[in-house]
Structure 1
Amino acid sequence: MTVLTTPRLRLEPIGDQHLDGLHAMNARPEVMQYISGQGETLEQTAAFVARVKRGWAAWGAGWWALIHLDSGRVAGAGCIQHLRREAAIPEDLLTLCTNPLEIGWRLHPDFWRQGVASEAASRMTAFAFEDLAAEELLAVRHPENLNSARVMDRLGMRYRGLETWYGRELATHVLRRAHWSSLHRAAG
């Protein structure tokens, strides 16, 4: 499992050691507003950790805990994983391997408006294109989640429209490797 770093973060594959920090974030209704609409119980967060571990085993990618280097706290979580159309999680995660790769993130409110999501998303995008050789990367969001839309814009993603993912109509953004490479050549 791959550990990634940025100037302010260490992205660690989520494991049992992250449960308390993840629950401190996922229990907050404002964090889950556009995901489930309510904060998670400790049992729900533990089930999330178990699913994430299955994802890493199946795909060699999944969710990372975003560890803030200065404080050592779980600042958030981010992922590179396969999207699914259905709300229900299949028993065999390998059936999702033909679906596009998704980038996603969520942050503890203590780390909002500090560029942490963009910093983590930029590093995860590089992992998807450089290490996994993905040709494109999708991101989905609740149509009203404008903060995530701004992070997607900063990554160079383009809005594609409303599509069904996770059993819901979600705003879908796309970034192709060729476009990402040209943005990085221009910036470098």
Structure 2
Amino acid sequence: MNIPELETERLRLRAWRDSDIEPYIEMCADEEIMRHLTGKPMTRQEGWRHAAYIIGHWQLRGYGHWALEHKESGLFAGRLGFFNPEDWPGFEIGWAISRPFWRQGLAEEGARRALAYAFEEMGREELISVINPENTASIALAEKLGERYQRDDEVFGHKVSIYGMSKRDWLAANKA
């Protein structure tokens, strides 16, 4: 499977490695990180299975969430990329950053590169972000990226807000 590698000033968006699984499991066990994603920390087994789900998405869809590598330290910094599994509201960009890398602008930096990839290289016409309505940090980031509130929905029994943007709007904001 050929997973493209993308880079930003501080990040490498790359295929997952065995060495990413342990820090990802730790990230999934962090109550504060998971509060808005699953509502509760994951067990070790759930974290491992979720990593397999993310990695498998690449095989099934040809795209997915990259592992984020902090270039300066070489450490796993989180995940970021695209989802659209069965019964999902649409082609989604999403992110989850490991706590040591919070408040450094890495999610925005990685998301901007991923958006360019989606619109310029994948030929996507629109995308969404599925966000817990209480996750003010992710809502602020989605809006900063140019996404706008579209509607409320329910995903796996959880109320969510759908934000989104079109390629036309992205081009207007980024090519002016």
Q: Specify the alignment match of 2:18 in structure 1.
A: 16
2:85 and 2:105 map into 1 onto residues whose CA distance is: 25
1:100 maps to 2:90: yes
After TM superposition, give the deviation of residue 84 of structure 1 in Å. Answer: 4.7
1:179 and 1:165 map into 2 onto residues whose CA distance is: 26
Give, as a single letter, the amino acid of the residue that structure 1 aligns with 2:107: A
Which has the higher relative contact order, 1 or 2, with Cα contacts under 8 A spaced 6 or more apart? 1
After TM superposition, give the deviation of residue 72 of structure 1 in Å. Answer: 1.1
Deviation string 1:75-118 (CA, Å, 9 cap, x unpaired) is 111121215547xxxxxxxxxxxx62100001112111111110
The question of whether the paired residues in 2 share the 8 Å contact of 1:75 and 1:111 is answered with: yes
| From 142, 146, 151, the counterpart of 2:141 | 151
| Matched residue count | 174
Aligned residues with identical type, % of pairs: 33
1:16 and 1:166 map into 2 onto residues whose CA distance is: 28
1:134 maps to 2:124: yes
Moved more, 122-131 or 8-17: 8-17
Give, as a single letter, the amino acid of the residue that structure 2 aligns with 1:144: E
Deviation string 1:135-186 (CA, Å, 9 cap, x unpaired) is 1010011101000011101110011121223443211101100000111112
Deviation string 1:16-57 (CA, Å, 9 cap, x unpaired) is 331012122111100000112222222112111221222101
1:25 maps to 2:15: no
1:145 and 1:40 map into 2 onto residues whose CA distance is: 18
The question of whether the paired residues in 2 share the 8 Å contact of 1:159 and 1:173 is answered with: yes
Aligned-residue Cα RMSD (Å) equals 1.6
Q: Specify the alignment match of 1:58 in structure 2.
A: 60
| Secondary structure in structure 2 of the residue aligned to 1:72 | coil
2:113 and 2:156 map into 1 onto residues whose CA distance is: 24
Q: TM-score, normalised by structure 2?
A: 0.92
| From 141, 144, 155, the counterpart of 1:165 | 155
Q: Specify the alignment match of 1:125 in structure 2.
A: 115
Q: TM-score, normalised by structure 1?
A: 0.86
| Secondary structure in structure 2 of the residue aligned to 1:125 | helix
Could you say if the C-alpha distance between residues 135 and 167 of structure 1 is closer, same or farther in structure 2, counting changes exceeding 3 Å?
farther
Moved more, 120-129 or 38-47: 38-47
1:70 maps to 2:72: yes
Could you say if the C-alpha distance between residues 34 and 84 of structure 1 is closer, same or farther in structure 2, counting changes exceeding 3 Å?
farther
The question of whether the paired residues in 1 share the 8 Å contact of 2:57 and 2:85 is answered with: no
Give, as a single letter, the amino acid of the residue that structure 1 aligns with 2:26: A
Gaps of 5+ in 2: none
